[in-house]
Structure 1
Amino acid sequence: MKKLIAPLLALPLLAAPALAEPLLWGFQAEQFEYRERDGEDGFAWDFDLFVGRDEGKFVWRSEGEMGLSSGDYEGLDNQLLYQFPISPFFDGVAGVHASTPNGEPDRYNAVLGARGLAPQWFEIDAGLYLSDHPYMQVEVEYEGLLTNRLILVPSLEVTMPLKDDAARNQGAGGATVEVGARLSYDLIDRAVAPYVGFSYEKSFGDTGDMLRAAGEETDEFSLVFGTRLMF
């Protein structure tokens, strides 16, 4: 693991930007939402905080979900990434990832990936997570403008374990797929945009079999109410 992480942390030194270029920073929360569902309702978030320059920036990405009654983190993932351009429409990312939910063993990974705009303006975020329990993850979003302020955002996220992780009920090749759609309204330009929508998650293959054997559900449907933030 150390052999993987050390070269990644050295990337900023190899791509040091010109000192004269202005320093940029920003915050973007794609999800900041209440989830209503059967069982315990939850609060979920997915945000990026970045600082750097056009030629390279550091990104802290946090994604997770907390049960509102128990206060337990059902998911808690944090990434520290270095992001750099690799084409006019895509950036490469490299860094480290920590997954530390309550009730499950912690997992730490090196991350290699890419994010950007595919043809027809689909937003793509793809990553390979390398450790003793490797997996791949791909997220796809599309912003459909119904009016200048009313926007429909369908989304798809696929997580594919590459090796069995019995402690987390993850089976190699058993994908977990999450689909959703959120209808938002821009109150203040793109800075504040409340939304409503839904999220549906289902696990397949060996992952689904492991969850059933552990007495857990293999799918979950949620109504969501939240706000997209950007500044």
Structure 2
Amino acid sequence: MKTKSILTAAASAVLAIGALQAAPAHAQAMPHSTEPPFSHEVFTGAVLFEKLEYGWGLDGPNIGRWDGQAWYGGDVNRVWLKTEGETARNGRVESAEIQLLYSRLIGYYWDLQAGVRYDIRPRPDRFYGVIGLQGLAPGMFEVDLQGFVSERGDLSARAEVSYDAYITQRLVLQPNIEANFALQKVPELHVGSGINDIEAGLRLRYEFTREVSPYIGVSYERKLGDTARYARNDGEDVGGWTFMTGIRLFF
């Protein structure tokens, strides 16, 4: 009887060891955990200046332009800092904005973003609430859609789409288009209702490294509707072609 009991216990032990070896690794490591595996995000950060450029206008003034963003966080939750603006030929800042956003991953390629925006220029300065959607559309088009509400209740929006076409492993052609919209007129900022302006550009960059990529390009910008009328009243051009050179930085 004792021999039979010992054999039964030994067989049970062998079966238990075999079941443990067959179980997934995460189940072995956390046999009593109620958390799903890989539930902890790894936090990283990066800075990207998509545009650091100077342009020579064929029908208008020469301008300098920057467009950059930085983020820190994991795959699901991130904090973003975005900035863009333009300077005139004399170096005076014509437009400048900065955004602080929280983003949440809502799909494999899409982030829902919300936060605040502050326009340093033009005057008078403005604060805005921001909600947006940023990610990759089918075909690997990079899309950035944002809606704004100012401290005075004015509603506006911006849409930007770009695409990286690799001619070689280092030579990249990037078309992009951007449009700005407003629901109401804002005369003090020279903004009309409807589509305010549209810009289409084409930039050819050479990636010496992933971090440093000089480029050349051409763009066409046009103010529309009441925004164009405000520009004409101020003696400004409402549109024209610009040739530019610049550098793209990523680190």
TM-score, normalised with respect to structure 1 = 0.86
* Cα displacement (A) at 1:40: 4.4
1:203-218 aligned at under 5 Å gives the runs 203-218=223-238
The superposition leaves residues 124-182 of structure 1 with CA deviations (integer Å, 9 ceiling, x where unpaired) of 00000012222110000011111111110000000011110101211111330011010
The 1:207–1:42 alpha-carbon spacing in structure 2 relative to 1, beyond 3 Å, is: closer
Rounded to whole Å, the distance in 2 between the matches of 1:218 and 1:73 is: 18
Match of 1:9 in 2: none
Match of 1:112 in 2: 131
* Cα displacement (A) at 1:49: 1.2
Q: Is the 8 A contact 1:174 1:206 kept in 2?
A: no
Counterpart residue type for residue 81 of structure 1: L
Counterpart residue type for residue 188 of structure 2: A
Rounded to whole Å, the distance in 1 between the matches of 2:239 and 2:167 is: 30
- Choose the corresponding residue for 2:112, options 86, 89, 92: 92
* Cα displacement (A) at 1:107: 1.6
Structure 1 residue matching 2:107: 3-state secondary structure: coil
Q: Which runs of 5+ in 1 are unaligned?
A: 1-17
Please tell me whether residue 195 in structure 1 is matched to residue 209 in structure 2: no
Match of 1:178 in 2: 199
Rounded to whole Å, the distance in 1 between the matches of 2:195 and 2:57 is: 24
Please tell me whether residue 124 in structure 1 is matched to residue 181 in structure 2: no
Counterpart residue type for residue 136 of structure 2: L
Give the paired residue count: 211
1:1-231 aligned at under 5 Å gives the runs 20-37=40-57, 40-69=61-90, 71-102=91-122, 104-131=123-150, 132-188=153-209, 190-231=210-251
Match of 2:15 in 1: none
Rounded to whole Å, the distance in 2 between the matches of 1:99 and 1:221 is: 26
RMSD: 1.7
* Cα displacement (A) at 1:209: 2.0
Rounded to whole Å, the distance in 2 between the matches of 1:62 and 1:48 is: 6
Counterpart residue type for residue 131 of structure 2: L
Identity within the alignment, %: 34
Task: Report runs of 4+ in structure 1 exceeding 4 Å deviation.
Answer: none
Q: Is the 8 A contact 2:41 2:76 kept in 1?
A: no
Counterpart residue type for residue 145 of structure 1: Y
TM-score, normalised with respect to structure 2 = 0.79
Match of 1:8 in 2: none
Q: Which runs of 5+ in 2 are unaligned?
A: 1-37
* Cα displacement (A) at 1:221: 2.4
* Cα displacement (A) at 1:20: 4.6
Rounded to whole Å, the distance in 1 between the matches of 2:196 and 2:53 is: 24
The 1:122–1:78 alpha-carbon spacing in structure 2 relative to 1, beyond 3 Å, is: same
Q: Is the 8 A contact 1:174 1:208 kept in 2?
A: no
